Structure 1
Amino acid sequence: MKRVDLIQEDDVYREYMQRNVQAEVDAYCHHDFRHHLDVARITYILILENNDLNYFIKENNLSGKLAAKEVIYAAGLLHDIGKWQEFEGSTDHASAGSHLAREILPRAFFDANEIDIICKGIYEHRNISKDMSFLGERLHRADNLSRLCLECDSQQDCPKMKNRDKTASSFEY
């Protein structure tokens, strides 16, 4: 997955990841590289386990399985890239991440269609809705599944745990 490697090697991507680390000193869940990679892997697994890869390829007019895998991994690696902007109070991280990803993806040779698919998924991943894209919904589910909330020392104070009844279904797949 050469294009995914190019994202990881991109100086701007690395700068934004470092900004996330610096901004999250007191955060409950950290949005570091491990989290991004977990979300990418879980998203891909969800799609494979439900035999949806061919559907995803056809629905999005992708060139094949490798392109689909790279699109999925790119979305996972970039889905929280704008978290530092949210901590600074300037914008929602999903919206910021979608915008910032558009800066990085062309340098990794993603085409305009692929960039639109990835950025839409990033933009949608924060809140579940009936109108979201296939990738946005899978990213949302993977993002929730990637967290080991029940093993966290901050459960008592965590807003995600306080709203668990509202999000319980997102802990299942």
Structure 2
Amino acid sequence: MKRVELLLKDAHYIEYINNNNEEESANKYCQHGLQHHIDVARIAYILVLEHNDLNYFVKEGGLSGKLAAKECIYAAGLLHDIGKWNEYRTGADHAAFGARLARDILPRVFYNPNEIELICRAVYEHRNISRDMSFLGERVHRADNLSRVCSQCEDRANCPKRSNKEFSVTAFEY
């Protein structure tokens, strides 16, 4: 996955991850650093594989093959919270801002215009489930929810996301 490796080495990507870490340095829970992004990317890919949807995504997304699909899934997971630092600083929606940041990064790491649209839409959509979500947006949304072991969180009673999250392993079945 050469393009994913390039993404992880991109100077702006690294800067945004560092910005997230800086803004969350006092937070104990729900960090949005590199480990969270990797977790979401892997879980999104697992969701696609477990339901035998990789060929569907290739066809539905107009992608060149399974490797391109995998790289798009991983890129969406790695980029989904890239704008979180800006939300802390300005209150602006991190998903919309992150999609704009992703649109700047992705061409530098050799994603084509079609792939950029798929990935940026998923980044934009990942916060809220809706009927009109893209295939990739829905998988990233679910992966984001499943990436946290909220049932073990000491602050779960006060979590503003609790009502929108899936909490158990059985949630992998749909």
TM bracket (short chain):
over 0.9
CA distance in 2, matches of 1:167, 1:32: 19
Instruction: Give 4+ residue runs of structure 1 displaced > 6 Å after superposition.
Output: none
Counterpart in the other structure of 2:111: 110
Q: Which ranges in structure 1 are unaligned for 5 or more consecutive residues?
A: none
Letter in 1 for 2:109: A
TM-score w.r.t. structure 1 length?
0.93
Counterpart in the other structure of 1:9: 9
Between the two proteins, the alignment pairs up a number of residues equal to: 170
Counterpart in the other structure of 1:89: 90
Letter in 1 for 2:143: A
Residues 2/168 of structure 1: CA separation in 2 closer, same or farther (3 Å cut): closer
Q: CA RMSD in A?
A: 1.5
Displacement of 1:170: 8.7
Displacement of 1:168: 4.4
CA distance in 1, matches of 2:46, 2:105: 24
Matched, 1:19 2:42: no
Conservation of the 8 A alpha-carbon contact between 2:6 and 2:109:
yes
Q: Which ranges in structure 2 are unaligned for 5 or more consecutive residues?
A: none
Residues 31/102 of structure 1: CA separation in 2 closer, same or farther (3 Å cut): same
1:1-173 matches, within 5 Å, as 1-27=1-27, 28-161=29-162, 163=163, 166-168=164-166, 172-173=171-172
Displacement of 1:31: 0.4
Q: Deviations over 1:106-158 (max 9, x none)?
A: 11100000000000000000000000100000000000000010111222322
CA distance in 1, matches of 2:130, 2:23: 28
CA distance in 2, matches of 1:112, 1:81: 20
CA distance in 2, matches of 1:17, 1:9: 11
CA distance in 2, matches of 1:68, 1:52: 10
Conservation of the 8 A alpha-carbon contact between 2:145 and 2:166:
no
Conservation of the 8 A alpha-carbon contact between 2:73 and 2:136:
yes
Displacement of 1:24: 1.1
Letter in 2 for 1:13: Y
